[in-house]
Amino acid sequence: PTQLAARAAYLLKGNDLGAMTTAAPKLYPHMWSWDAAIVAAGLASLSVERAVRELDTLLSAQWSTGMIPHIVFAPAATGYFPGPERWETARLAASAPKKPETSGITQPPVHVIAVQRILDHSRRRGKTVRGVAEEFLNRRWPDLMRWHRWLATARDQGQHGLITLYHGWESGMDNSPRWDAAYENVVPGRMPGYVREDISVVGDPGQRPTNAEYDRYLWLVEQMKSVGYDDEKLPAVMGFQVQDVFFSAIFAMACEMLAYIGEDHAKPHADVRELRAWAELFRSGVASTAHHRSGAASDFDLIAGQRIPTDTLAMFAPLICGGLDRPREMALARLFEGSRWCGHPDLLYALPPSTSPVSKQYRPKEYWRGPVWPVITWIFSFAFARRGWPERAAQLKDEALRLVADGKFAEYYEPHTGEALGSMQQSWTAAAVLDWLG
């Protein structure tokens, strides 16, 4: 384990550009929002100061609306598409910063986990480090509030306690079967041509989304550009509009965590109250989608007006934030651990694949359609520890550490063979390992 932690630390150093850690050396040569948060959580075990710098870089790209964009572009990096020339946010979006350049969509709000880790680790260090963490929290508190407020308002205009996404990339689970039906309604029109970079980096295109999927991804970007990425105008033009339960569950957890942090650090009562109210609203929102017996949650397609029940990780959203009655919660935990999921007899390790291995849509090598993602395991393990299930949390951690023991720190893994897939040296895989071992 010490050796694995040392390799993880070495990897993060290798991907460090100074004030930002690229998500991966070749495939993702920029900063991704939820990657950066996990990276900061991992970095906190090595250096609280460096973890703070990572979040500062990300927050320096926050839009005036409060949105944290899903990509902050590294100035000189090439080899990624769609880059800033395609998004054109600095030119088209009134609320985007001119510098650094960013994308125009968002990603799951795991950032408070990093803040928590910064505070945790600083407590074990001397006074100077504690001061760095405190100063950071005081300085960024208003930005964290703006971020959460933007999600709770701009992305839940009807106050349903469910976050609306306008692009599958916002879920972080780009090509999950969760979004197949919603993407069927996205019919690409005329748009500038493009060349994908991702498939030349990942040699096997079968591990990445298809070209038809990419056309739709890019078309949605064009739709956003047509209204200058204006939150008020997006509902009228976007061909993809879904309520994401997994994102919403993370948000509920993050609001609750931030409320505790705020209380501990004497932040305004009104802020803490607001955070508690959002936590409650979104916990209920997630629970409201759950099946009456199994407790499995589902996304909702706002355009088709239909629930999207899938055998994917989305089902387990209530395990992250709570909100179910006890029988359904137990049923859902049994489903997670049982033979349709982590306990499937053909799986190498008892870890959650991104899609159930018994699902017809299961593809064990294809990105979010089957592979095991160490970072997702880490999120579940973190959430389970918070929910008062230390044994479940520890089991996920132990299994995941066995999976990544090869030291490749891949983006995702084949669930039956443990083959490393996608990008190697993925920063957040290393960061998750560091957090577990640190």
CB of 24 to ligand DGY, least distance (A): 10
**Separation of alpha carbons 114 and 120, rounded Å:** 10
Q: What are phi and psi of 175, to 5 degrees?
A: -110, 25
User: Cβ(231)–Cβ(225) under 8 Å?
Assistant: no
**Residue number, 169 or 336, with CB nearest to ligand DGY:** 169
Q: Does 174 bind ligand DGY (CB under 6 A)?
A: yes
**Residue number, 54 or 198, with CB nearest to ligand DGY:** 198
**Residue number, 86 or 130, with CB nearest to ligand DGY:** 86
Write 48-51 long-range contacts (CB < 8 A, 24+).
48/118, 48/121, 48/122, 48/125, 48/129, 48/132, 48/133, 49/129, 49/132, 51/114, 51/117, 51/118, 51/121
Q: Which residues in the 57-116 window bind ligand DGY by CB under 6 A?
A: 70
Q: How many CA atoms lie within 13 A of 324 on its CB side?
A: 27
Cα pseudo-dihedral 341, 37, 252, 176, rounded to 10: -40
Please give the residue whose beta carbon sits closest to ligand DGY in the complex: 169
**Residue number, 316 or 368, with CB nearest to ligand DGY:** 368
**Residue number, 147 or 169, with CB nearest to ligand DGY:** 169
> Measured between alpha carbons, how far apart are the two ends of the chain, in Å?
10
Radius of gyration of the chain (CA): 20
CB of 217 to ligand DGY, least distance (A): 8
**Residue number, 4 or 220, with CB nearest to ligand DGY:** 220
**Residue number, 198 or 231, with CB nearest to ligand DGY:** 198
**Separation of alpha carbons 99 and 84, rounded Å:** 11
CB of 197 to ligand DGY, least distance (A): 9
CB of 375 to ligand DGY, least distance (A): 13
H/E stretch holding 412 reads strand 412-413
> By rule CB under 6 A, what string of x and - marks binding of each residue 128-167 to ligand DGY?
----------------------------------------
Using CB under 6 A as the binding criterion, the count of chain residues that bind ligand DGY stands at 4
**Separation of alpha carbons 86 and 367, rounded Å:** 24
**Separation of alpha carbons 133 and 115, rounded Å:** 9
Written as six digits, the tokens of 159 are 């106050």
CB of 198 to ligand DGY, least distance (A): 6
**Separation of alpha carbons 12 and 18, rounded Å:** 11
Q: Which residues in the 195-214 window bind ligand DGY by CB under 6 A?
A: 198
**In the sheet that 242-244 helps form, which strands lie side by side, from edge to edge?**
163-165, 242-244, 299-301, 306-308
User: Cβ(352)–Cβ(341) under 8 Å?
Assistant: yes
Written as six digits, the tokens of 137 are 């929290």
CB of 202 to ligand DGY, least distance (A): 10
CB atoms within 10 A of CB 433: 28
**Separation of alpha carbons 404 and 410, rounded Å:** 8
> By rule CB under 6 A, what string of x and - marks binding of each residue 315-354 to ligand DGY?
----------------------------------------
Q: Does 219 bind ligand DGY (CB under 6 A)?
A: no
Q: Does 169 bind ligand DGY (CB under 6 A)?
A: yes
Catalytic residues: 174, 411
CB of 10 to ligand DGY, least distance (A): 25
CB of 70 to ligand DGY, least distance (A): 6
- Helix residue spans in 232-356 (DSSP H): 234-237, 245-264, 269-287, 317-321, 326-337
**Residue number, 198 or 311, with CB nearest to ligand DGY:** 198
| Binding positions for ligand DGY, rule: CB under 6 A | 70, 169, 174, 198
